[in-house]
């Protein structure tokens, strides 16, 4: 399931798109003008935006341009009326990922959406460099450095670290970590999680006894804080 923001001011079209995307199992938010679209895009960080060009208050091309210049790289598919070739060229130039001309079939739109989502999630998987504090992590190379010195992590510690990095700011229960990082056939005790978090702190925190990144959330579990 993906979070999709649909920006369309024509009522019939927006209803059809909402129903269609919900039927496909997506979590849909609607906007009917450019300003609302810009605000919601930044607030919700959707996985994808379907963005009509002709909109009240701020047109779709300007919304796209503004998002890109503010550093938001979320995927955008633009919609435009037939014959507006100039919009297509401009839209792609301004950073839209794809472009579709009305009238289109819903199947065609969904196919484009899936292609864009596949492409962007492949990109995300490739650029797996993360840094926090004095730590730099290249997940593709399985390399962790602290103050530019290579840090040795066991494969379990690396899996745990990866899970934390993929869920920044979330409170994660010990059982969730056990499910995600340990094998089911030989379930370890929950204190195994604590032991491994302690090891990560020792290797990666500046002050392991006063952690800034691998935080204990009393009675609940842990939270990974990136900055």
Angle 11-23/106-126 helices, nearest 10 degrees? 60
Residue 11 CB, shortest distance to Ca ion, in Å, is: 10
Euclidean distance between CA atoms 20 and 56, whole angstroms: 23
Cβ atoms of residues 165 and 124 within 8 Å = no
Q: By C-beta, is 53 or 153 nearer to Ca ion? A: 53
Q: Is 143 in the site for Ca ion (CB under 5 A)?
A: no
Task: Return the residues of window 38-67 that contact Ca ion according to CB under 5 A.
Answer: 52, 54
79 bridge partner residues: 52, 100
Selected binder of Ca ion within 2, 3, 9, 59 (CB under 5 A): 9
Q: By C-beta, is 20 or 188 nearer to Ca ion? A: 20
Handedness of CA 78, 81, 87, 89 (dihedral sign): positive
Phi-psi region of 164 (alpha: psi -120 to 50; beta: other; left: phi over 0): alpha
| Only segment of 3-11, 41-49, 91-99, 137-145 that touches Ca ion (CB under 5 A) | 3-11
Angle at 196 between CA 191 and CA 200, to 5 degrees: 145
| Only segment of 5-13, 98-106, 114-122, 146-154 that touches Ca ion (CB under 5 A) | 5-13
| Only segment of 2-10, 102-110, 131-139, 213-221 that touches Ca ion (CB under 5 A) | 2-10
Residue 106 CB, shortest distance to Ca ion, in Å, is: 17
| Residue at token pair 């399931």 | 1
Residue 190 CB, shortest distance to Ca ion, in Å, is: 54
Closest CA to 215 of 175, 183, 168: 168
CB closest to Ca ion, residue no: 54
Closest CA to 140 of 153, 125, 150: 125
Q: Is 87 in the site for Ca ion (CB under 5 A)?
A: no
Total binding residues for Ca ion by CB under 5 A?
Answer: 3
Q: Is 205 in the site for Ca ion (CB under 5 A)?
A: no
Q: Is 33 in the site for Ca ion (CB under 5 A)?
A: no
Q: Which residues bind Ca ion (CB under 5 A)?
A: 9, 52, 54
């Amino acid at each position: 399931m993906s979070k999709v923001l649909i920006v369309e001011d024509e009522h019939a079209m927006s209803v059809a798109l909402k129903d269609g995307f919900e039927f496909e199992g997506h979590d849909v938010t609607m906007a009917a003008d450019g300003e609302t679209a810009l605000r919601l895009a930044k607030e919700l960080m959707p996985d994808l935006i379907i963005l009509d060009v002709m909109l009240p208050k701020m047109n779709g091309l300007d919304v796209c341009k503004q998002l890109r210049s503010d550093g938001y790289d979320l995927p955008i598919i633009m919609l435009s009326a037939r014959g507006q070739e100039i919009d297509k060229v401009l839209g792609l130039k301004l950073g839209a990922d794809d472009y579709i001309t009305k009238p289109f079939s819903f199947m065609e739109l969904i196919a484009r959406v899936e292609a864009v989502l596949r492409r962007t999630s492949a990109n995300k998987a490739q650029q797996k460099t993360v840094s926090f504090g004095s730590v730099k992590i290249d997940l593709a190379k399985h390399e962790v450095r602290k103050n530019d010195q290579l840090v040795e992590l066991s494969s379990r510690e690396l899996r745990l670290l990866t899970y934390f990095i993929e869920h920044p700011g979330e409170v994660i229960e010990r059982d969730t970590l056990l499910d995600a990082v340990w094998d089911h056939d030989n379930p370890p005790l929950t204190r195994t999680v604590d032991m491994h978090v302690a090891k990560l702190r020792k290797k990666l925190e500046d002050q392991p006894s006063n952690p800034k990144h691998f935080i204990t959330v009393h009675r609940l579990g842990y939270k990974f804080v990136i900055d």
